[in-house]
Every structure is written in structure tokens, then in C-alpha cells.
Amino acid sequence: MSGIQMALLGVAQNVTIVLTSQTGLNSIVDQVGSGTATVSYQIASNGKVFKTIGATTTEIEQWCTPTSAAGNYEVFATLNSSTGSGLASGTTGAWLALTSNRTWTVNESTSGNLSGAELGMQIRKVGTGTVLATATINLEAEVL
């Protein structure tokens, strides 16, 4: 029976929520010799997590299984620390519905500069206070 059929019948659906920290060797880093270095971390409404380094986007993991349940959850990002220009875009300090993609970005365009942000991520089911997954995300953009 599919998840949709189970929902229509009122059958409880087992949902697994997972977030993996992106720190240390797994930090999301872009280093360029010139131009603009850009990195992004996205928790998507399709139940997946993506990283973008420069112009290349890669799936990191599936945060919600089954993915059809992703819209029932929300994310809270905390800016733990920053360097240089810090976080260029992305909302922190508020619960955001995962019915839309949520993205946090760091940019750097000045030669010899490093910009970065460390984010704390939490995911919970809408309407509850129980955090189901947490992770620390390090974003770094550097022009050498």
C-alpha cells in the first residue's frame, strides 16, 4: 500500500528524519583563484538535502523518508558563528515550513578573503516542540 493510500485510510505512516553534519572534512567549501566563491546548503521540500559549490549542485542525503511526508516538517537554522562577510542569504532564528526549499548561502569575491558561516539546523514536525534531527553545517567561500 502506498503512503498516499495509507494516509487516505488513516493508517499511521512511519517517517524517518535524518540530518548529517557537514563539518571538518565534510564542510561545504569553495576556493577560487579569482572571481566569486559561492557555497550553499539546501533542505528541499522534496525530502532531499543539496549542497552547491560554485555552479555544481550535489545531493547530500535524503532527510525525510518517505519523501512524500516532507511537507509536514519545518526547519530552524541558528547562526552559531561567522567570518568575513558571513551568511549572504538564508533565514535564521525562525521555524520555516518545508513546503518550500530552504537555502543558506555564503559568497566571497575579494582576493585574499575567506567568508564563512556555521549553522545549527533542527527539524521538527509542524505543530510540535520535539526536535527530530539536528546537524551543524559549515559553509566556507574563499578567494585565494
Residue 13's pLDDT band (boundaries 50, 70, 90)? confident
Annotated domain spans of the chain:
28-143
pLDDT tens digit string along 61-97?
999 999 999 999 999 999 999 999 999 999 999 999 9
What stretch of H or E contains 44?
Answer: none
First and final C-alpha spacing in the chain:
54
Contact 73, 65 (CB under 8 A): no
Strand order in the sheet with 131-143: 28-32, 131-143, 114-125, 73-83, 95-97
d(CA 33, CA 12): 53
| Residue pLDDT, tens place only, 19-78 | 999 999 999 999 999 999 999 999 999 999 999 999 999 999 999 999 999 999 999 999
- Contact between 116 and 83 (Cβ < 8 Å): yes
The pLDDT confidence band at residue 9, using thresholds 50, 70 and 90, is very low
